[in-house]
Amino acid sequence: MEPESLYNLLQLPGKVDPPAQEPLSQGEKKKFLPPTSRKDPKFEELQKVLMEWINTELLPEHIVVRSLEEDIFDGLILHHLFQKLTGVKLDVEEIALTSASQRRKLTAVLEAIGQSLQLEEPQAKWNVERIFNKDLLATLHLLVALAERFQPDLPLPTNVQVEVITMESTKSGLKSEKSVEQLTECSTDKDQDTKDAFDELFKLAPEKVNAVKEAIVNFVNQKLDRLGLSVQNLDTQFADGVILLLLIGQLEGFFLNLKEFYLTPNSPAEKLHNVALALELLKDEGLLNYPVSPEDIVEKDAKSTLRVLYSLFRKHKLKESMDRGSLGSPK
């Protein structure tokens, strides 16, 4: 079995959650998301992309985020994510179990993030109080800012807007006001140019997918022939990570100790370990520019598998096999 992540350990009974939100005091304002905003497809897609990005970044540390609303507030995820993105070690306590220590840690992490993003607190669309109280809007603003700064090629859905309700406590009672909040920028021509080629391929030219697969299968088998291996089905044979790791080792000159991966994986966790290791190696070599979820590979998602294999194909294709010129990016 894989070791339990530190984050999962902190979910055990006994973890102290922040106190329940108190009623608004006079003159206080708070924003709320109505159910219709929460169910907006683009709003849900934004959360999914951000969550997959965080989980890909933190996978080597066995940290898994399942809810942006519930898992970010205490500073643990932000601490590890910030360190991974910047390489800066923060002098904060690793395990914060009490409400006071969690708030203290979150404050230190947000200060470091603000300095890195060069934001003054009044400019930021989040603060300690809002993040600590699991304010989803503030959390999304924070994560979008981090992604735009450190992962500018992350395919965030464009022009995500949500209707919010601002409640204010006045002498005459509660007053509500509706407004629209912008979470991501509007689409531009530049944004269109950075769309992932495989999204376009599967959407606009599905009849060409098999041709791309055939070219990559030929390339892969040329490289695996030295190991006495061959691939017939890209969608299924890479799902356990074994052939993928062996292929990367052949192409990139890695010696993979058998203790580092499972040669005959018998469980989904072992397959996930293998694929995660492979993606980390590709990322370290600067080959994987598009975020790919290890779970998608294990679940035999054709598009994700092609993305990974194409990153190797693009770098290592054999010149003598390209009689018709470079295949280039799928169009």
Q: What is the pLDDT of residues 274-323, one digit of tens each?
A: 998 998 888 877 777 677 888 889 988 888 888 888 888 877 764 444 43
**Residue ranges for the chain with pLDDT beneath 70:** 1-27, 120-124, 187-207, 289, 317-331
In this prediction, residue 319 carries a pLDDT of 40
**Contacts for 37 with CB less than 8 Å, ≥ 6 apart:** 43, 162, 163, 164
Tell me, yes or no, if the pTM score tops 0.85: no
CA distances from 127 to 41, 72, 99 (A): 26, 13, 16
In this prediction, residue 5 carries a pLDDT of 39
In this prediction, residue 23 carries a pLDDT of 65
Rg (CA), the chain: 23
82 by DSSP, 3-state: which? helix
CA distance linking residue 244 with residue 247, whole number of Å:
5
In this prediction, residue 329 carries a pLDDT of 46
Q: Give me 5's structure tokens.
A: 């992540």
Residue listed under structure tokens 């003159």: 27
H/E stretch holding 169 = strand 161-170
CA quadruple 203, 281, 71, 109: dihedral, nearest 10: -120
